Copies of this chain bind each other. A is one copy, B any other.
Amino acid sequence: MATRNIKEVAQLARVSVGTVSNVLNRPEIVSPATRERVFEAIKKLGFVRNEVARHLRVGRSRTVGLVVLDVSNPFFVDVAQGAEAVADDHDTMVVLCNSAGDPGRERRHLDQLEQQRVMGILITPVEMETPWLEELAARGTPVVLVDSPATGLQCSVAVDDRLGGQIAGAHLIERGHRRIMFVGGPPSIKQVADRHAGVTSAVAAADGAVELLTSTAPTLTVAEGRAIGERVAALPADERPTAAFCANDMMALGFLQAMASHGLRVPEDLAIIGYDDIDFAAAAAVPLSSVRQPRELLGRTAIDLLLEEVAEPEQHRHRQVIFQPDLVIRESSALRREG
């Protein structure tokens, strides 16, 4: 009810508001006696500094926004935790926003964050073209793209998704698969497009010996993975692919569930490989092979870049950091008989 302000504290401590502010921000320049008196007044009144007013005056906030594609995907949670760990050491707060793959939601979150004058924004954009983000950056809110390479106008951290797709494809081909399916999402999402391009190139390298099917879903969720899996399971065995490369682990888990519920064995009837290597991949019905990304590191690096830009806006040069994915082989893509 009664929120006290600095003035009331000053009154009670019989000092000026300037002094109270000093006690709060630079206690060492205030004489011990006065300082003590002010602290007492603060405690007695239950005064809590109004960060909003402070921010208005000082001009910069200690909050960064992190807008992700899907909070229910543990991959993004891990990225967020990486970012938060670094933010913690810098007395900074990370607010996590979920665009849920919807450009409208993404836009609304960005507007809100800009209105709040956050220190900066980390974002996994829904779409490849990001004119809004560039305008936003031009207006003064630093932006770092996460898991998505930038055009050069901003910083970015990403993992080489093309390489990831290639690794996954090469692995399946090496295991003897000749009919592979890419279980993907909307090609408008850069990650999906790149992973697809990667597996395509692996298939091309096999010189026509391997066939690649492609399915797309509107979202990269467990439910969509399951739906596609159901359709695949319903195919006659000779039309069915022998391996599926899923655009992420969520889809792979759904796909796997569909196999199980149709009595198809993994990897014998159909091998599966996912992407991200979320913790749940290892705990799946059949432990899931996956292309691993350095999840926490992505988050840490993203916020490092942001903090760097905020600290020295002048001489900051935008950078594109790219990490390499690697392959984690588990049971879902274990060895298959040749031919």
Contact = CB atoms under 8 A, between A and B. Distances in A.
A52 B48 contact: no
A71 B61 contact: no
A18 to B, nearest CB: 19
A49 interface: yes
A53 to B, nearest CB: 5
Interface residues of A, number: 49
Interface in A60-94: 61, 71-72, 74, 77-78, 80-81, 84, 93
Contacts of A1: 138-140
Interface stretch (A114-122, A160-168, A176-184): A114-122
B257 A51 contact: no
Nearest to A50: B117
B3 A140 contact: yes
Given A81-B98, A96-B96, A283 B284 contact: yes
Interface string A37-66: 000000000101111110110000100000
A256 interface: yes
Given A81-B98, A139-B3, A279-B222, A117 B52 contact: yes
A205 interface: no
A227 interface: no
How many copies of the shown chain assemble into the complex?
Answer: 2
A112 B93 contact: yes
A135 interface: yes
A51 B141 CA distance: 14
Contacts of A84: 98
A105 B140 CA distance: 31
A51 B116 contact: yes
A297 B49 CA distance: 34
A194 B87 CA distance: 35
Given A55-B52, A56-B52, A117-B50, A140 B2 contact: yes
Of all A-B residue pairs in the complex, the 8 with the closest CB atoms, nearest first, are: A51-B115, A95-B95, A96-B96, A280-B280, A253-B283, A1-B140, A51-B116, A52-B56
